[in-house]
């Protein structure tokens, strides 16, 4: 078991270390889904093998735009995440 400490920055974001992504087998730029249980307060990350779904699309006034977002580190906007689930 590996233990590490992360902190929330002034923007309400948490940056997870690269070893985390390496250990779960996530590839650079691949999406990672977080599931949060409101009753227990527990959360889990879905394994990258469950990430093979098609990319979501955003509607715009000019049609459909595909999103292709990539990042080395996962930045979680904790404040926005909490607002979304509550």
Task: Write out pLDDT tens, residues 14-27.
Answer: 888 888 878 877 77
Distance in angstroms (rounded) separating the CA atoms of residues 35 and 59? 25
**In angstroms, rounded to a whole number, what is the distance separating the alpha carbons of residues 79 and 7?**
13
What pLDDT score does 81 carry?
A: 60
- What is the SS3 assignment for 81? helix
Mean pLDDT of the chain: 68
Task: Tell me: pLDDT of 62 over 70.
Answer: no
Buried b (16+ CB within 10 A) or exposed e, 14-47: eebeeebbeeeebeeeebbeeeeeeeeeeeebee
pLDDT band with cut points at 50, 70 and 90 for residue 60: very low
């Amino acid at each position: 078991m590996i233990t590490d400490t992360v902190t929330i920055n002034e923007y309400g974001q948490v940056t997870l270390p690269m070893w985390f992504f390496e250990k779960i087998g996530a590839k650079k730029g691949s999406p990672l889904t977080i599931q949060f249980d409101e009753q227990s307060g527990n959360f889990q990350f879905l394994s990258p093998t469950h990430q093979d779904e098609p990319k979501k699309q955003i509607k715009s006034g000019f049609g459909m735009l595909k999103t292709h977002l990539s990042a080395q580190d996962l930045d979680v906007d904790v404040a926005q995440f909490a607002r979304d689930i509550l």
